[in-house]
Chain A
């Protein structure tokens, strides 16, 4: 492992930091009342009302974390995301395998699956809230409907594209129907599931937050909705920032899991002297 500090990378990180700092400074300068003469709004405090203030936003985040008020909400959002992701992936895997291997069921279900996928599923969120209440369940179900189709189509495609030679070879080596499913179709499909992992965890997260936003009593989406109701723009921005960081962490975890499980895949940075 090369642990030496390489300057180009360090320089890039510096530029990243500078860009962020510049943007924050710009935000501060434009919204701080009286700092620059008003050129758009008549009232110098109007900009602050619409766009919030970076310092206030950070202060809000600080009180959330220092006071511990945010953890309960974050936990709810996390649970919703993970449940939606796990259930959606499992269902997508099972149905994808089933329909890909059963031509009759596949032709029968095909138009309905296409229709359900084409439907803008965000409008289902209020219906789920009525069916499953304002707790976690309605958000999980909503997230599942988003994740399911991503995984389903990937698995379906994955099974359809298993190399016929690999399949014939496994049959010649004596694999029974069940063994083909377990040792050939499933690993092949799993690799396709992993290639959709980033998209599906992202959508599970969207499902959780949108569900909370539309009706709940807990979660980060609920916090944002509450703040919006009283025109507390600083808190709205703080919530968005927390969600973004949260999403980045999720994505990082997924990348780690992915690289652990897909070692057999030819990678670009994996040239190894034999």
Chain B
């Protein structure tokens, strides 16, 4: 609660009245507005989750925050300044496999340092340290295809965190994992996060995951023209265990509350996805 309240004064990341309109490839003149007039902020050291029905433009928002996609209108503010180009203060964890398949786990982790011109020996030492922090000691020489899905996510996590970004952008990073591995990863993420409290914007379609991890949950409307329809402060105590916290009465209460607000949008999103098929 405290971190959430303190955050309002100083935001690490802010999307201000962001609209993203895409021109249709099939028919010129046809336009598709994925995100409309969206304003959201992530306070310094705050863990914010964005939930919404499938296909509502959650990833679009994250790409805008990362600077990979320029919004049609509106602006992105990062640590006080306006963002142009790639967001250098942010690390991005993708939903799909993002590791370079031709590089070993170690070489993947040290990629960011290599790009920054860090000396090779030092980069290797730091990458090895990060590999052991994510529990992959002894897997340094493996290639991505020789690792399991959960291990690849750990490598991606280390790859992102080695650059010590102030802001973490995470796009359903654990959605491809099985439930058990996923809960393990969620706990590990919370542990790593609590060590130095980075600002996190976490995208997910899983409300339980969002509540268990976050200080604040933002609910998006169904697409197209997605915009936030609700914001909920999660006042569950930390440190949390994502598995245990799901059983607490307060969790169930919050869950019911947010779900009530989301339900209509989920149904709308579902209706739209079946219509367009």
Task: Decide if A272 is an interface residue (CB 8 Å cutoff).
Answer: yes
Question: Which residue in A174, A175, A264 is a CB contact (below 8 Å) of B101?
Answer: A264
> What are the interface flags for B77-118 relative to A under an 8 Å C-beta threshold, 1 for contact and 0 otherwise?
000000000111011101011111111100000011011100
Question: Which residue in A163, A170, A265 is a CB contact (below 8 Å) of B111?
Answer: A170
Task: Decide if B145 is an interface residue (CB 8 Å cutoff).
Answer: yes
Question: Which residue in B66, B96, B143, B159 is a CB contact (below 8 Å) of A263?
Answer: B143
Stretch of A132-140, A176-184, A240-248, A251-259 on the interface side: A176-184
Question: Which residue in A174, A183, A188 is a CB contact (below 8 Å) of B88?
Answer: A174
Q: How near does chain A come to B110, taking the closest CB pair, in angstroms?
A: 10
> Which residues on A sit within 8 Å (CB–CB) of B112?
173-174
Task: Decide if B236 is an interface residue (CB 8 Å cutoff).
Answer: no
Q: How near does chain A come to B78, taking the closest CB pair, in angstroms?
A: 13
Whether the Cβ atoms of B68 and A171 lie closer than 8 Å is: yes
Task: Decide if B72 is an interface residue (CB 8 Å cutoff).
Answer: no
Question: Which residue in B91, B92, B99, B146 is a CB contact (below 8 Å) of A166?
Answer: B99
Whether the Cβ atoms of B96 and A172 lie closer than 8 Å is: no
CB closest residue in chain B, given A167:
B98
Task: Decide if B2 is an interface residue (CB 8 Å cutoff).
Answer: no
Q: How far is the CA of A264 from the CA of B87 in the complex (A)?
A: 30
> What are the interface flags for B181-223 relative to A under an 8 Å C-beta threshold, 1 for contact and 0 otherwise?
0000000000000000000000000000000000000000000
Task: Decide if B276 is an interface residue (CB 8 Å cutoff).
Answer: no
Whether the Cβ atoms of A183 and B111 lie closer than 8 Å is: yes
Task: Decide if A34 is an interface residue (CB 8 Å cutoff).
Answer: no
Whether the Cβ atoms of B100 and A166 lie closer than 8 Å is: yes
CB closest residue in chain B, given A190:
B102
Q: How far is the CA of A195 from the CA of B170 in the complex (A)?
A: 35
Give chain A's interface residues, CB within 8 Å of chain B.
163, 165-166, 168-176, 179, 183-184, 187-188, 191, 263-266, 270, 272, 274
Q: Can you list 14 residue pairs at the A/B interface with Cβ under 8 Å?
A: A165-B96, A166-B98, A166-B101, A168-B68, A171-B68, A172-B92, A173-B159, A174-B88, A174-B112, A183-B100, A188-B102, A263-B143, A264-B101, A274-B146
Give chain B's interface residues, CB within 8 Å of chain A.
66, 68, 86-88, 90-92, 94, 96-104, 111-112, 114-116, 143-146, 148, 156, 159-160, 163
